[in-house]
Chain A
Amino acid sequence: MRLRAWDLTIERGGRRVIAELSFEAPASAALIVTGPNGAGKTSLLRALAGFLPIEAGGFALDGGDGERTVGEQAHYLGHADGVKAALTVGENLAFAAAMLAGDSSRKAQLAALAALGLGHVIDFPARLLSAGQRRRVALARLLVAERPLWLLDEPTTALDAAAQTALAAIMQAHLKGGGILVAAVHAPLGLNGVQELKLGVTTEAAA
């Protein structure tokens, strides 16, 4: 399985943020997207998830499920955590798991939270969590439902050193199992054998 993109062009607000970008992300290797602010890292990930229209080119998940879009086979984790403050951590995860056709049992939630060092807060309302804890609840979604492609937009934001190590271990396990990982980062993730995709700021106006 691999993610392949060809001649990808994305425009936002009349500005071409990604111009004719081609890349491949093979299974079992992380593709790290780097670049200065405004280089289009988030736009690229959101386009791959199906949230932004693309102007030209295309992308496909070779060896994936042909019946579903790339986004429907992907975990997308953006700047917003997607954690509902009114619900408990467990309820949040149960909903995400059911929505993503994963395992919504309490056991799966506890295992996912424990992997991120957060097992003790499962019955806490999410509004009482700190920013880093909320981020970790969002990351626990990756574990309660299995999807081959992970699209992570700055996943280490607000995480402490221990949580970053735990996240690296989770990502390593995902890659070991044949998963694909595309992550936009500013700092190294602590993974071995990564490919880097450098984006620059394009000043070219859209045609």
Chain B
Amino acid sequence: MTPALALFLREWRIARRIGGGASVGVVFFLILVSVMPFALGPDLNLLARLGPAILWVAALLATLLGLDRLFQADHEDGSLDLLINGSLPLEVAVLIKCAAHWTTSALPLVVLSPLFGLMLAMAPLPLALVAATLAAGTPALTMIGAIGAALTVSLRRGGLLMAILVLPLTIPVLIFGVAAASAASGGGAPFLSPFLALGSLSLAAIALAPFAAAAALRQVRE
């Protein structure tokens, strides 16, 4: 077994088992989306117009929810030492951990978002486009969140600090995500250019964040 595959499998197994927290994000997403119609009232047009923004904000918060434990659990039980001195460069290990985290917690959001969007009275095309923008944008959220998770790895209640550090950096992702997603719900705004900007944000985050997170992991822990 290659080290990369072993790490991915381990992360996947831990997330799927009891206490792993893979479904926490999805359940949080469902809760947030399903209480919105009660809060906003039964105006279907309003719901449909706000739908993409609600889905995006819910996805952003749900993604950040589980991320604070990304490195903290490994730091607490000592297995981070194994990652640092293992046969994989730490940057690659960070990338693989993020990939595993994305597939266990963000991918279910992408897949289920059309279903949840039905509660917001959204039409089929906007539903599909929201799912597409989430698929293109959530990797950026995970990768940016990983930097915050690495910086707060040794703090016991680092989750809130991580959210404060990370949220401002995720605003561009949110703006382009919602811009692309609402293009389909009318208004005449273009879909493609914000969508491509969203994709480029994700690619840049995938390329750069592992270096930042690995540097933070090496520096911050004492």
Contacts and interface: CB of A to CB of B under 8 A. Distances in A.
A59 to B, nearest CB: 15
Interface residues of A, number: 29
Contacts of B20: 86
B222 A82 contact: no
Interface stretch (A87-95, A156-164, A174-182): A87-95
Contacts of B10: 84, 87, 91, 95
Interface in A88-119: 91, 94-96, 98-101, 104
B85 A94 contact: no
B84 interface: yes
B18 interface: yes
Given A78-B78, A87-B13, A100 B87 contact: yes
A21 interface: no
Interface residues on B, range: 20 to 34
A12 interface: yes
Contact of B13 (A12, A91, A99): A91
B19 interface: yes
A134 B2 CA distance: 25
A84 to B, nearest CB: 6
B83 A99 contact: yes
Interface string B1-13: 1110111011001
Interface of B: 1-3, 5-7, 9-10, 13-14, 17-20, 76-79, 81-88, 221-222
29 contacts: A49-B85, A51-B81, A52-B222, A71-B85, A72-B85, A76-B85, A78-B78, A80-B77, A80-B78, A80-B79, A81-B78, A82-B82, A83-B79, A84-B79, A85-B77, A86-B13, A86-B14, A86-B18, A87-B14, A87-B17, A91-B10, A91-B13, A98-B2, A98-B7, A99-B86, A99-B88, A100-B87, A104-B1, A104-B6
Interface of A: 12, 49-52, 69, 71-72, 74, 76, 78-87, 91, 94-96, 98-101, 104
